[in-house]
Amino acid sequence: MSKPYVYVTRLLPEHIIEPYSDELEIQMWPYEEQPVSIEKLEEESHRADGLLTMLTDKVDQGLVEKSKHLKIVANMAVGYDNIDVDAATKFDITVTNTPDVLTDTTADLTFGLLMATARRMVEANQYIKDGKWGPWSPLLLAGTDIHHKTIGIYGMGRIGEAVARRARGFDMKVLYHNRSRKTEAEEKLGAVYVEFNELLEQSDFVVCMAPLTDETHHIFDAEAFRNMKKEAVFINASRGATMNEDDLYHALEQKDIAGAGLDVFEQEPIGKDHPLLQLDQVVCLPHIGSATVETRHKMMKLCLDNLVRYFRGDSPLTKVN
């Protein structure tokens, strides 16, 4: 009996792939940094029993409809807005993601981004590189305190809760807004549920950790930024389209808010001339929330475990639909 054929849309380390080769016939796109071409993805989806995809790969209804043999798509991300899950479900295609294994790593990055923005670390680093460091002055590159401030977390999922745990270590007051109350987080972390506008009005740091949905699309718009404190810092480490970038740029220029730390953008990748990159009070990262060697290897293995379990007839570990 032939092994199920799986196509992987990026080049993954051989030592990760090899242990699964007894049960799966695996072929990979031969480039690590270059995304799979649309033509190649369509070609492979026609013959593959399973796909291991990245967040940048669009598995839309048109592709699903043409994929006669496809049975499972293992997406190497927590989010899966790159996949038409409804279409996949209609054609009896299982979709999986990679939650849990990246929770703490992404929370580390998110809180690090908050700290870097609040304390102007990137700006200070560039200040030295530009040869500007001269005599000491009382308010040279003075940022804002983090300890004993109020953090407002929009989206209290696993990563949101992990960010809250880190905030408690800085003696911060934790507010949150979520589509449902998280009583366990309230009990364990002292987190306080508030309505969205109240979160905006009371928080010194507003952190977006929500998935991208119709409800959250551009939830952070001009009105939301106007409702924040003038001294507030906005952090987004979830999905870029939860914010309106033009509105954020104008809010920063007009000093409606004090700064922003961004790991995500509406259209990725961004170029060096992107307006937000021109503002000193903004720290930008290239969507590296889960980017540690340890975590990325765990994500790869979870995708492959899901594929193997599916083809064995077992339930995948992290099924979405």
Among 17, 50, 12, CA closest to 31? 12
Amino acid at 277: L
Backbone angles phi, psi at 74, to 5 degrees: -100, 110
Nearest alpha-carbon partner for 209 in 167, 249, 170 = 167
DSSP symbols for 238-291: S-GGGB-HHHHHHHHHTTSSSEEEES--SSSSPPTT-GGGG-TTEEE--S-TT-
Catalytic residue among 184, 223, 268, 294: 268
Respond yes or no: is residue 239 known to be catalytic.
yes
**Burial track 82-115 (b if 16+ CB lie within 10 A, e otherwise):** bbbbebbeeeebbbbbbbebbbbbbbbbbbbbbb
| Catalytic site residue from 120, 177, 287, 296 | 287
Does the annotation count 268 as an active-site position?
Answer: yes
Nearest to 269 by CA among 245, 283, 287, 282: 287
Question: Which is it for the CA torsion 154, 155, 157, 158, positive or negative?
Answer: negative
Task: Decide if 270 contacts 10 (C-beta within 8 A).
Answer: no
> What is the enclosing helix (H) or strand (E) of 151?
strand 150-154
Say which of 10, 120, 177, 239 is annotated catalytic. Answer: 239
**3-state SS class at 142:** coil
Catalytic site residue 15?
A: no
Measured CA distances, 286 to 16, 81, 108, 221 (Å): 24, 18, 15, 22
**Which residues carry out catalysis?**
239, 268, 287
